[in-house]
Structure 1
Amino acid sequence: MARPSSRQRLLKAARELFVRQGIAQTTTRQIADLAGVHEVTLFRHFGSKQGLLLAVFAELGVFSGVADLPLPADPTTFQSAELQAILLRYVQTCFQALADNPELVRSLVGEAGSYSEEHRRALRAGFLQAQEQLYNYLKQIPSPDLQAIDSERLHAAAGTLHLMILGAALLAVTAGLPCSNTDQPSSNPADKGMSCPSVPALLQACVELWMAALTGMKQAYSPP
């Protein structure tokens, strides 16, 4: 079996160290040493620790499926329900990429207050790139609801959908949301009488609310 490339080893080492000791406390030298390469190799592949951090999250597949989203085969028969079904699959895929890596998500959130400005800029750039990609996809959809919304608000709507995904994932990995409707309810007396939505139900609700908000935007901002 061929040995993993230096890039693959660096990604694996970075992910392991980010989980074990935190993103802020991990140095490029430590990552390079664990990967068995020179530190200059890390900079050649990723430019900086921040570039490596973004590459680690990109490898998880979070927000990376926009390019694979289908466009309507026949725009003349397009229905909003078709877009809702497409976006629900996208939301579920993005969510699963985060939920499958709970330790990394907890590390990212738990030490957010100690990030350098470079880390913040890198994460912000990654989020904005995903927002731009989803916005460009939505612009191609022949939906009256979408076409009636100006670009600034549609751009914001794309970011809002991603925020919903992130929120659901954070709840799942920190609060232990049930993965299905058949999961047992909490045995904690403090939770008595409280309904805890399952992950599938929460994601479905997110997409339905998002679609309803688009309709509201169309009605609010369409010219009389």
Structure 2
Amino acid sequence: MAEKRLSSRERIVKSALELFAQQGTTATTTKEIAERAGVNEVTLFRQFGSKQGLLLSVLKEAPVLEKMQAALSEVVGANQPLTAYGETILELLTQAPELVRSLIGESGQSPIENRQALGQVLQQANLQAVGYLRSAQVRWPGMSVEAIATLLNTLVIGHIVLAASSGGLWQNQQDFLTMLNELFRQQHLQEESIHGQSEVSSPLTVQPHEAVIDLPAEVVRSLFQTAKKQGPQEYALVYVLFGAGITLEEAAALTSPCVFASKSQHLLTIAGSNASAIQRQVPVNRWIMGNRYGTYLKNPLTQWLKTQSDEQTAVFVLADGKALETEGLLALWDAIAAGTTMSAGSPATPFQARQTWCIELLMKGMSLENLSILSGMSLIELEPYARRAKEKAALEQALAIDQKKT
């Protein structure tokens, strides 16, 4: 079968990416791009307006994040996760050093749309890094995984820009990676010394892989019933955790302007938890594990919000009207879940509500890519959820076969 011929637009974007990678954006002319793509400049300008408009399309359409995702998937489980991450990202970026240097070094002269597009790519790259580090189950005293990811990407991208601009400050790439790992190791040793801990084996402590343990429908129903008896705020909390799959930290940060309800939808706007996190919108599901909890306009959350005064902006509050922090929400949850006992002998956790939400959406046909957008988790983080959803689907199929009359 003959290869599908690329459209003129696709050829222009592909040619631009190749030339930007080889020469940088400033040194590349629209004439060169047009010639490489086999079109005239008029066609290029008609479709993209200018070289900056073309660069914007390249930023939005280049498969950089997909390549990053695939590359990181291959090194999950490495003995030295920081070194493996650095090597992987450097290998990707060194394929287009001039493009990286141009994008970062010349961003101040770029239109705001281009800077925003670049910022979105960097934020998504940070999200991929967070997913990789969490999949490796790494911990570092005094820093969140998000902060580690941000620092790592800053150092690695900075190294590439310096190397492309002036030859760099290191004799070779391996020296940089060795010192990168040593930097984290020494800081870790200092933290451990301060806290009086003697057992130190690596810059990051690798924890056992956390299993996905979603909750059965009867347990979820029991939690809803208990929460409803305890009060409208408790009922709203359980509804939000199972209906939108947000974390306790995100629930604590919710304010009434973040909640939008109409006849056709009920949405929450979740703010990023740090500078590198992306704001996202999440729908609140009415149907949860086979049971319906009201309508978009009338449900446990909207009913709870109606009881609050206009001066109160936080969704979950103390008796004096002050916002409930994460610890307070955890106390509410613990009181609700006290009567549930899982197979391990401990009560259900708020994180299991999020896991249950993820699995239910996957079982109903949602793609991993869309779940990543809604949950704020990377595709790497969601891989265990995909396996669990397939496992449940296989179990359901096996049970259905067993129940058929022969």
TM-score by length of 1: 0.61
The residue aligned with 2:161 is: 170
Indicate if the aligned counterparts of 2:93 and 2:160 stay in contact, CA closer than 8 A: yes
1:130 paired with 2:135, answer no
What are the residue-to-residue correspondences of 1:70-85 with 2, within 5 Å? 70-71=76-77, 82=79, 84=80
1:87 paired with 2:82, answer yes
- Which is bigger in relative contact order (C-alpha 8 A, separation at least 6)? 1
**Which one of 176, 182, 207 corresponds to residue 181 of structure 2?**
207
Partner Cα separation in structure 1 for residue 120 and residue 193 of structure 2: 32
1:53 paired with 2:59, answer yes
**Which one of 1, 4, 22 corresponds to residue 25 of structure 2?**
22
Indicate if the aligned counterparts of 2:101 and 2:160 stay in contact, CA closer than 8 A: no
Partner Cα separation in structure 2 for residue 54 and residue 219 of structure 1: 46
Q: Which amino acid aligns with 2:86?
A: V
Indicate if the aligned counterparts of 2:72 and 2:132 stay in contact, CA closer than 8 A: yes
Partner Cα separation in structure 2 for residue 57 and residue 104 of structure 1: 14
Partner Cα separation in structure 1 for residue 150 and residue 192 of structure 2: 18
Partner Cα separation in structure 1 for residue 117 and residue 109 of structure 2: 14
For 1:2, what is the secondary structure of its paired residue?
coil
| Alignment RMSD (CA, Å) | 4.3
Cα separation, partners in 2 of 1:170 and 1:64, compared to 1, 3 Å: farther
Q: In the TM superposition, what whole-angstrom CA distance separates every residue of 1:145-172 from its partner, at most 9, and x where no partner exists? A: 34x556xx32011011111111221222
The residue aligned with 1:79 is: none
Q: Which amino acid aligns with 2:13?
A: L
Q: Which amino acid aligns with 1:157?
A: I
The residue aligned with 1:190 is: none
Cα separation, partners in 2 of 1:168 and 1:123, compared to 1, 3 Å: same
Q: In the TM superposition, what whole-angstrom CA distance separates every residue of 1:66-103 from its partner, at most 9, and x where no partner exists? A: 3333237xxxxxxxxx2x2x331331222132223233
**Which one of 113, 120, 138 corresponds to residue 118 of structure 1?**
113
Q: In the TM superposition, what whole-angstrom CA distance separates every residue of 1:113-154 from its partner, at most 9, and x where no partner exists? A: 2011111111111111111122123223344x34x556xx32
Identity, % of aligned pairs?
A: 27
Q: Which amino acid aligns with 1:154?
A: V
Q: If you compute each CA radius of gyration, which structure gives the higher value, 1 or 2? A: 2
Q: Which amino acid aligns with 2:129?
A: L
Cα separation, partners in 2 of 1:102 and 1:11, compared to 1, 3 Å: same
Q: Report how many aligned residue pairs link the two structures.
A: 186
Partner Cα separation in structure 1 for residue 179 and residue 24 of structure 2: 36
Q: Which moved more, 1:117-126 or 1:12-21?
A: 12-21
Gap regions ≥5 residues in structure 1: 73-81, 178-194
Indicate if the aligned counterparts of 1:88 and 1:203 stay in contact, CA closer than 8 A: yes
Partner Cα separation in structure 2 for residue 196 and residue 142 of structure 1: 30
Indicate if the aligned counterparts of 2:86 and 2:177 stay in contact, CA closer than 8 A: yes
Cα separation, partners in 2 of 1:39 and 1:5, compared to 1, 3 Å: farther
The residue aligned with 1:105 is: 100
For 2:77, what is the secondary structure of its paired residue?
coil
For 2:62, what is the secondary structure of its paired residue?
helix
The residue aligned with 1:11 is: 13
Indicate if the aligned counterparts of 2:17 and 2:58 stay in contact, CA closer than 8 A: no
Partner Cα separation in structure 2 for residue 140 and residue 59 of structure 1: 17
For 1:128, what is the secondary structure of its paired residue?
helix
1:157 paired with 2:157, answer no
Partner Cα separation in structure 2 for residue 38 and residue 175 of structure 1: 33
For 1:138, what is the secondary structure of its paired residue?
helix
Cα separation, partners in 2 of 1:60 and 1:103, compared to 1, 3 Å: farther
Q: Which amino acid aligns with 1:171?
A: L
Q: Which amino acid aligns with 1:160?
A: L
The residue aligned with 1:2 is: 3
Partner Cα separation in structure 2 for residue 132 and residue 20 of structure 1: 28
TM-score by length of 2: 0.37
Indicate if the aligned counterparts of 1:32 and 1:38 stay in contact, CA closer than 8 A: yes
The residue aligned with 1:69 is: 75
Indicate if the aligned counterparts of 2:15 and 2:36 stay in contact, CA closer than 8 A: yes
The residue aligned with 1:96 is: 91
**Which one of 143, 148, 172 corresponds to residue 198 of structure 1?**
172
